[in-house]
């Protein structure tokens, strides 16, 4: 059966232009809108490339075709043949790429009918996300989502082209790997032929790309699928895609230059936007001190000021007690913020408390000095001078015995205050490198855990602190941040067995445990492993930023919900009891 009949598509809807005036074309797609103007029928036909208007004049169509046109419904699939004609001047739609022309239909074939969709296929739909995810195949017909997928394709092609030009080799690494948790939980796969044993799905190709460096591949990359069984947020999914990169005989600066060049090419080719040749660089400590975040949005100011020294001699007990306990005082000047209501300030206080602060001190700058809040406890002239405050400004303060709490809680307040300042600036891109992250973080039981992962080389001057003072050890770890989003994380790796074993010992791994879990990597280091490093930009997050979206679910074809489920196909799902038995597993009731 020839489904299309004699109506084989000659043009895509969005490609029909005035250059084709007078020619007969055949288009195929979905009925987007229908309008009856006194017996003349208008249909907006939509496909992957756009929308074109088709007009059905009764005198130009056989009765059968006219009847088919009158019987159409939204989302019917049709093929239409007709003559391209200019629209009357008063009917030109300048908002539409095909708005100067229409197709005067001569023949139509209905290829499939459609139920009434549960929501309108329009960009500004008010349908709930759950409903859109259940009917994802309908949601994906919306032009903005299709454009996101097209942009994703262009980005991937640009990345591959750039890395190929730089001499990289694309290598696929295994999807069934040894369970070696890197921080998040593994997705485990029972090995049917090896009773009681499991594969894991890779959280990243980390160990394999390091092995490739030992193998002498020199420059590796992969558009890699990664899976992590972790709690989800707007910028996380159980499965994601990253642009995985590793290089031998490199320093941080080499990695930075490669990624700056790659991002420059991607943004130029895909968005027509020029990026700086070199991105600003901050240490982790600088980022926390100035912005209260290790992924700062630098599109707006509102930089924090360190008032710890002032707090030492302050009459304000909150400041002095925090400093005496070894903590810090951080402050923020909000231009024009004196007009904020008490409720707005209370809301900011609650935000600070979410990040561990005990409260948020505040004062307003007036012509006569400081007013309200904590004004009576502060040296007005000194504080105003330190913060550059002017009449009409609001000054905010957080003091805490823990430095990072003081920074992060006021940084969270800064982010709230910055929201109005970036409205309408989604297509402005501020890239920043954040480097020299701590290698370890304390655990609740008094031990140490990796702050990122355990394969990052400590700063040369910090190697000697591994056993004596792990909390002071910073590593050659770096993140690429854009508009407050962490786009990539990487490091110069450990390439020596002795240093890797010392790092593993800090987090409580014995030599025997290290050998059991990572023996193949440690052994490889004994066969001439070169110095190497890499990075892994998240493709999903990159597309999210480039499209100005707030969630990576909007740039992934088939995302999961916050509970890691797929509403469209109902996964995860139960499996046949026989399959469970074949895997030597038993499912017990709660």
- pLDDT at residue 484 greater than cutoff 60: yes
> For position 372, what pLDDT does the model report?
86
- pLDDT at residue 115 greater than cutoff 80: yes
What token pair was written down for 187?
A: 């997705």
Residue 63: count other Cβ atoms within 10 Å of its Cβ. Answer: 8
Confidence of residue 183 (pLDDT cuts 50, 70, 90): low
Instruction: Taking residues 240-261, report their average pLDDT.
Output: 98
Return mean pLDDT, the chain. 93
Q: What is the DSSP string of 35-101?
A: EEETTEEEEEEEETTEEEEEEE-GGGS-HHHHHHHHT--TT-EEEEEEEEEEPPGGG--TTSTTTTE
Separation of alpha carbons 209 and 224, rounded Å: 11
C-beta contacts of 586-589 below 8 A and 24+ residues apart:
none
- pLDDT at residue 287 greater than cutoff 70: yes
Contacts of 175 (CB under 8 A, 6+ apart): 201, 202, 225
Which tops the pLDDT comparison, 589 or 367? 367
> For position 69, what pLDDT does the model report?
86
Give the up-direction half-sphere exposure of residue 304: CA atoms within 13 A in the CB hemisphere. Answer: 32
Burial of 449 (0-12, 13-18, 19+ CB in 10 A): middle
The predicted-structure confidence for 272-282, as pLDDT tens digits, reads as follows 999 999 999 99
Contacts of 489 (CB under 8 A, 6+ apart): 452, 477, 478, 479, 480, 535, 536
The predicted-structure confidence for 556-578, as pLDDT tens digits, reads as follows 999 999 889 999 999 999 888 89
> For position 373, what pLDDT does the model report?
82
> For position 590, what pLDDT does the model report?
65
Separation of alpha carbons 415 and 421, rounded Å: 10
Largest Cα separation within the chain, whole Å, is: 93
Instruction: Taking residues 193-221, report their average pLDDT.
Output: 95
Residue 155: count other Cβ atoms within 10 Å of its Cβ. Answer: 20
Contacts of 393 (CB under 8 A, 6+ apart): 333, 334, 335, 336, 337, 338, 364, 365
Separation of alpha carbons 317 and 313, rounded Å: 10
Question: 214, 529 in Cβ contact below 8 A?
Answer: yes
Give the residue ranges of DSSP H helices in 175-271.
Answer: 206-214, 252-271
Q: What percent of the chain has pLDDT above 90?
A: 83
> For position 235, what pLDDT does the model report?
66
- pLDDT at residue 182 greater than cutoff 80: no
> For position 476, what pLDDT does the model report?
97
Range in 66-70, 188-192, 266-270, 585-589 with the lowest mean pLDDT: 585-589
Radius of gyration of the chain (CA): 30
The residue among 531, 535, 471 whose CA lies nearest residue 499 is: 531
Instruction: Taking residues 151-174, report their average pLDDT.
Output: 98
Instruction: Taking residues 530-559, report their average pLDDT.
Output: 95
The predicted-structure confidence for 217-239, as pLDDT tens digits, reads as follows 999 999 999 999 887 666 689 99
* The length of the chain, given as a count of residues: 590
Confidence of residue 374 (pLDDT cuts 50, 70, 90): confident
Domain annotation for the chain: domains and CATH numbers: 13-112 (2.40.50.140), 146-268+431-555 (3.30.930.10), 300-422 (3.30.1360.30)
Q: What is the DSSP string of 329-374?
A: EEEEEETTGGG--HHHHHHHHHHHHHTT-S--EEEEEETTEEESTT
The predicted-structure confidence for 382-393, as pLDDT tens digits, reads as follows 999 999 999 999
Q: What percent of the chain has pLDDT above 70?
A: 98
The predicted-structure confidence for 453-470, as pLDDT tens digits, reads as follows 899 999 999 999 999 999
The pair phi, psi for residue 33, each rounded to 5°, is -145, 155
Instruction: Taking residues 343-372, report their average pLDDT.
Output: 94
Chain-centroid distance of CA 66 in Å reads: 49
The predicted-structure confidence for 65-82, as pLDDT tens digits, reads as follows 888 888 999 999 999 999
């Amino acid at each position: 059966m020839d489904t299309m009949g004699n109506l084989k598509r000659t043009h895509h809807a969005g490609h029909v232009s005035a250059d084709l005036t007078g020619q007969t074309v055949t288009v195929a797609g979905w009925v987007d809108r229908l309008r009856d103007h006194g017996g003349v029928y208008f249909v907006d036909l939509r496909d992957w490339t756009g929308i074109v208007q088709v007009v059905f004049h009764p005198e130009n169509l056989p009765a059968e075709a006219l009847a088919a046109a009158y019987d159409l419904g939204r989302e019917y699939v049709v093929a239409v043949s007709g003559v391209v004609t200019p629209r009357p001047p008063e009917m030109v739609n300048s908002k539409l790429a095909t708005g100067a022309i229409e197709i005067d239909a001569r023949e139509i074939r209905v290829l499939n009918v459609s139920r009434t969709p549960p929501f309108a296929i329009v960009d500004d739909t008010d349908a709930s996300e759950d409903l859109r995810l259940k009917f994802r195949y309908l949601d994906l017909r919306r032009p903005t989502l299709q454009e996101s997928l097209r942009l994703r394709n262009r980005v991937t092609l640009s990345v591959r082209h750039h890395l190929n030009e730089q001499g990289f080799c694309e290598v696929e690494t295994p999807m069934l790997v040894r369970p070696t948790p890197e921080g998040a939980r593994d997705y485990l796969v029972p090995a049917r032929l090896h009773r009681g044993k499991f594969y894991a799905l890779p959280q990243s190709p980390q160990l394999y790309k390091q092995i490739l460096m030992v193998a002498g591949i020199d420059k590796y990359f992969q558009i890699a699928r990664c899976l992590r069984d972790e709690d989800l947020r707007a910028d996380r999914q159980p499965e994601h895609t990253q642009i995985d990169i590793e290089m031998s005989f490199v320093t941080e600066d080499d990695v930075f230059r490669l990624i700056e060049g790659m991002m420059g090419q991607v943004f130029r080719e895909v968005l027509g936007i020029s990026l700086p040749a070199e991105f600003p660089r901050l240490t982790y400590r600088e980022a926390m001190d100035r912005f209260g975040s290790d992924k700062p949005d630098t599109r707006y100011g509102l930089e924090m000021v360190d008032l710890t020294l002032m707090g030492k001699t302050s009459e304000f007990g909150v400041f002095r007690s925090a400093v005496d306990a070894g903590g810090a005082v951080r402050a923020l000047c909000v231009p024009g913020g004196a007009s904020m209501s008490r409720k707005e300030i209370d809301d900011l206080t609650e935000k600070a408390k979410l990040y561990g602060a005990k409260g948020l001190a505040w004062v307003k700058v007036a012509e006569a000095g400081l007013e309200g809040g904590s004004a009576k406890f502060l040296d007005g002239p000194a504080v105003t001078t330190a913060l550059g405050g002017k009449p009409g400004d609001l000054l905010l303060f957080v003091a805490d015995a823990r430095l990072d709490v003081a920074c992060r809680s006021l940084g969270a307040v800064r982010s709230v205050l910055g929201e109005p300042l970036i409205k309408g600036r989604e297509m402005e891109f501020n890239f920043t490198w954040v480097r020299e992250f701590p290698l370890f973080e304390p655990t609740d039981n008094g031990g140490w855990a990796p702050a990122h992962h355990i394969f990052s080389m400590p700063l040369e001057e910090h190697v000697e602190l591994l056993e004596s003072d792990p909390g002071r050890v910073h590593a050659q770890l770096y993140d690429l941040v854009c508009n407050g989003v962490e786009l990539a994380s990487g490091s110069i790796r450990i390439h020596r067995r002795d240093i890797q074993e010392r790092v593993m010992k800090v987090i409580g791994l014995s030599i025997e445990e290290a050998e059991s879990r990572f023996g193949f990597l440690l052994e490889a280091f004994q066969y001439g492993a070169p110095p190497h490093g890499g990075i892994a930009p998240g493709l999903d997050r990159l597309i999210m930023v480039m499209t100005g979206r707030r969630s990576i679910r909007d740039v992934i074809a088939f995302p999961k919900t916050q509970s890691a489920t797929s509403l469209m196909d109902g996964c995860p799902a139960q499996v046949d009891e026989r399959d469970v038995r074949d895997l030597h597993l038993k499912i017990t009731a709660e």
